[in-house]
Chain A
Amino acid sequence: MSLSQRYLIRCQDADTRWCPCVLADSGSCPVCPVIRGEDSCERCLWQGVCIYEKHLSAGGRMEKRLFRPLQVLRKAEIGPDVYRVVLTMPSEWRFELNRPGGFIIVKPSGADHYSAAPMAIYQSSEDETMSLVFEVKGPKTKKLAQSGAVWDVKGPFCSGLWGARRLQTPQNLRCLVVAAGTGQSLLPAVVRQLLKMDNDLHLVVEAKNNGMVYAVEDLAGLDRRDSALSMQLLMPRSDKPAGSPLADAVREHCYDVLVSLGSDYLHEQVARLRDDQPWAASNNSVMVCGEGICGSCGVVLDNGEHLRGCKVDIPPEFVFGSPGVDSEFEGGPVL
């Protein structure tokens, strides 16, 4: 991987108070070559701040996100095994969580940290509440569905959408956003961002197995322009896999930007339909600590480099759509 390609991989925490983190402390900062033991700044992946300087002056001290108890204000089963939860939100989290890709890590109050699951922020509001929607899949989400008035929450994180930076600048472009299942939870922030930049949007929302389309109604209020609705729903509900209608849409309209919110399987589909346009895809890494420590979120790049999926923003094309990947592949990141 060339240095200029490597430049596209960004640490989500480099310009925050959570840098330097344990990765810098252990000599494995993804941004700073000097911290990694190289003898010059030549391969520095500058992100606006000198992490080497921060690392030296921190003298081994670092700030970590810690679980804190937050109140569960409402929990409703909005569909079969699908829950919408409203939590109190520390006010300063809003600025991070209302970005596309903002998420938190949650567990039932007092549960051990293995029970924690990352959850996208569906909506955050000025009255210091945030909501998320989750689907019961296995032990962690089952426990969350049963658990009570308080959750332990860690945050704010903002690496939940790989390629999110690409949504900051495009203006007056045609964008296709595909969301499937609980990937819909990323829709409001993504749509808000793309509309802010006066883009035209087409949405494809796929219900997945439980038939739930929950995000579409909530999007209606987001289009603030006087002109005709710039957001067009191509296919609100489908029992078919995303593949074919998606292909039709992509063939028919020449989109400038693609956004894929759903499983890695969906990302593979989108990757295959994509030409060279910029795209973003939800980050589906398995995450436990969110701090770069546990390694459960590992992503291995073509060049063999190991990265922490929880920490970095990776252009999705580095992970999805490699030639030779079995098109039926449906699993974790394509390594």
Chain B
Amino acid sequence: MTTRVAVVGGGWAGCAAALSAAAAGAEVHLFEKTDMLLGAGLVGGIMRNNGRFTAAEEGLLLGGGGELFAVCDQASRHQDVAFPGHQHASLYDVSRIEPLVRDRMKDRAINLHLQTRIVFAEVHQNSIESIHCESGQQFAADVYVDATGTSGPMGNCHRYGNGCVMCIQRCPAFGPRVSLTALAGVEERTAVKGSDAPGAMSGSGKLHVDSLSEKVRTQLQQTGVALVPVPEELINESKLAAKACQQYATSEYASNLVLLDTGHAKLMAPYMPLDQLREVPGLEHARYEDPYAGGRGNSIRFTAIAPRDNHLKVAEVENLFCAGEKAGIYVGHTEAICTGMLAGHNAARLGLKQKLIKLPRNTAVGELIAYGGQQMKTKEGYRNSYTFAGSVFFDRMKDLGLYTTDRQVIEKRLKQQDLIGLLGSELR
């Protein structure tokens, strides 16, 4: 018996879903609107900080899409980096990571359809029968995974943010994000910003490394981090409420500019007008990476979240799963990979008529999926975001004893529950 799985969206979540589905034995097709994989993963880079370390190790042991953590490790520019509020981070090189992932996808025989934007879904009796791309071409699969993320599109960035800033989604060139879940007729949910507006603004930008002073540049290259003090008169804490990443919403981030070396100089602030940025000593000649308008704003995210169960199956549609930001107010590459690897595996299971699985709540990944789902059933839940790396969920990991950096402890925990290799083995 064979089955065909279509993954829509080639960010970290989609890539992980595709790898898990392929490992389980499905024929996998991945559709991505831009000319590169990884979506928001092309501008991030922070891995293994705080509880993400535990999750990455679990992912490697679970297999399937979890193998992407090895690719990230391989592309690290810096390891074991500390910056305010964060320990033992790895920073992958944003300019090297995509080809490495793409090669891995090809090795696993995944059919990549780049520059193919899905704009329509044929739904019959609560099942998706086929999807259509912009060119009108149609494609039918047995099971679908929505990994289209939640960034943009331009209308949201304009209505709820400061307008399109030409982020990595590159909507003006490749067309706006379209949600498969919405195309299937499911009503989506939205996160709520501090000020009672929908969505949240992304919390980091990217500067051109060569535009920084030599001192800052050297510090970045050598340690991976530079803390650049902000002159008193520029400190503006009010911006914090709008950020997606509550983990970075502390006063330390308001009194310093935190820069990380990911190939870009990653600026840990949602945005900062260029003139102000240039008042910061060391950044007198700074400029943002092209073509991104980091002085004006940032992308708006988390306005299109699918209702789903802990198998990551979307409510009301028989053959649709979801992963990454689509599956909850999940911030992060690690979170996208972890949800993706389960969604892809379950998609293959459904196609092969096998029972769907959940991950147990005494694993970091299982708990993230269950807790994030549970929070989506409460009003307050929409005011938070969830990540292994900080804020409410990292506290919870610590309270539950899930956070550890001891690989042996993690391995033992998974072994006891027969989880090793669970997502990496072929289903029969």
Cβ 8 A contact of A49, one of B154, B189, B197, B379: B154
A53 within 8 A of B: yes
Cβ 8 A contact of A53, one of B136, B158, B175, B198: B175
Point out the residues of chain A lying under 8 angstroms from B164, CB to CB: 48-49
Chain A residue with Cβ nearest B152:
A49
A95 within 8 A of B: yes
Chain A residue with Cβ nearest B188:
A92
A50 within 8 A of B: yes
Of the listed stretches A13-21, A34-42, A206-214, A283-291, name the one at the interface; the rest are far from the partner chain. A13-21
* Contact B154 A95, beta carbon cutoff 8 Å: no
* Contact A95 B198, beta carbon cutoff 8 Å: yes
B194 within 8 A of A: no
* Contact A17 B155, beta carbon cutoff 8 Å: yes
A28 within 8 A of B: no
0/1 per residue, A188-217, Cβ < 8 Å to B?
A: 000000000000000000000000000000
B40 within 8 A of A: no
* Contact B158 A48, beta carbon cutoff 8 Å: yes
Cβ 8 A contact of A95, one of B117, B134, B197: B197
0/1 per residue, A47-58, Cβ < 8 Å to B?
A: 111100110011
Within 8 A of B (CB), among A51-101: 53-54, 57-59, 61, 90-92, 95, 98
* Contact B379 A48, beta carbon cutoff 8 Å: no
A248 within 8 A of B: no
Within 8 A of A (CB), among B192-250: 196-198
A239 within 8 A of B: no
* Contact A48 B154, beta carbon cutoff 8 Å: yes
Cβ 8 A contact of B163, one of A14, A48, A57, A95: A48
Chain B residue with Cβ nearest A196:
B195
A5 to chain B, nearest CB (A): 22
Contact A16:B159 (CB < 8 A) given known A48-B164, A92-B190, A126-B379: yes
* Contact A15 B159, beta carbon cutoff 8 Å: yes
0/1 per residue, B146-167, Cβ < 8 Å to A?
A: 0000000111111110011000
* Contact A98 B196, beta carbon cutoff 8 Å: yes
Point out the residues of chain B lying under 8 angstroms from A59, CB to CB: 119, 136
Kindly state the separation between the CA atoms of A54 and B402 in the bound complex, as whole angstroms. 46
B120 within 8 A of A: yes
Within 8 A of B (CB), among A139-195: none
* Contact B158 A15, beta carbon cutoff 8 Å: yes
Point out the residues of chain B lying under 8 angstroms from A126, CB to CB: 379
Kindly state the separation between the CA atoms of A59 and B119 in the bound complex, as whole angstroms. 10
Kindly state the separation between the CA atoms of A15 and B190 in the bound complex, as whole angstroms. 17
Interface size on B, residues (CB 8 A): 26
Contact A57:B175 (CB < 8 A) given known A48-B164, A92-B198, A95-B198: yes
Kindly state the separation between the CA atoms of A15 and B154 in the bound complex, as whole angstroms. 7
A216 to chain B, nearest CB (A): 24
Kindly state the separation between the CA atoms of A15 and B379 in the bound complex, as whole angstroms. 26
Contact A50:B172 (CB < 8 A) given known A15-B159, A19-B155: yes
Point out the residues of chain A lying under 8 angstroms from B159, CB to CB: 15-16, 48
Kindly state the separation between the CA atoms of A59 and B196 in the bound complex, as whole angstroms. 34
Chain B residue with Cβ nearest A92:
B190
Point out the residues of chain A lying under 8 angstroms from B160, CB to CB: 95
Cβ 8 A contact of B134, one of A15, A48, A49, A57: A57
Chain A residue with Cβ nearest B199:
A95
Kindly state the separation between the CA atoms of A95 and B160 in the bound complex, as whole angstroms. 10
Point out the residues of chain B lying under 8 angstroms from A19, CB to CB: 155
Point out the residues of chain B lying under 8 angstroms from A16, CB to CB: 155, 159
Kindly state the separation between the CA atoms of A40 and B339 in the bound complex, as whole angstroms. 46
0/1 per residue, B117-157, Cβ < 8 Å to A?
A: 10110000000000000101000000000000000011111
A222 to chain B, nearest CB (A): 14
Kindly state the separation between the CA atoms of A312 and B287 in the bound complex, as whole angstroms. 38
* Contact A57 B119, beta carbon cutoff 8 Å: yes
Kindly state the separation between the CA atoms of A59 and B137 in the bound complex, as whole angstroms. 13
Chain B residue with Cβ nearest A51:
B155
Kindly state the separation between the CA atoms of A14 and B163 in the bound complex, as whole angstroms. 13
B418 to chain A, nearest CB (A): 40
Point out the residues of chain A lying under 8 angstroms from B198, CB to CB: 92, 95
* Contact A61 B120, beta carbon cutoff 8 Å: yes
* Contact B196 A48, beta carbon cutoff 8 Å: no
Kindly state the separation between the CA atoms of A293 and B396 in the bound complex, as whole angstroms. 52
Point out the residues of chain B lying under 8 angstroms from A61, CB to CB: 120
Contact A49:B120 (CB < 8 A) given known A95-B198, A98-B196: no
Kindly state the separation between the CA atoms of A91 and B198 in the bound complex, as whole angstroms. 11
0/1 per residue, B98-126, Cβ < 8 Å to A?
A: 00000000000000000001011000000
* Contact B190 A48, beta carbon cutoff 8 Å: no
Kindly state the separation between the CA atoms of A17 and B175 in the bound complex, as whole angstroms. 14
7 A/B residue pairs, CB under 8 Å, sorted by A: A16-B155, A47-B158, A50-B154, A92-B189, A92-B190, A92-B198, A95-B160
18 more contacts with CB within 8 A, not counting A48-B155, A49-B154, A61-B120, are: A15-B155, A17-B155, A48-B154, A48-B157, A48-B158, A48-B159, A49-B153, A53-B172, A54-B176, A57-B119, A57-B175, A59-B119, A59-B136, A91-B189, A92-B189, A95-B160, A95-B196, A95-B198
Could you list which residues of chain A lie within 8 angstroms of chain B, going by C-beta atoms? 14-17, 19, 47-50, 53-54, 57-59, 61, 90-92, 95, 98, 126
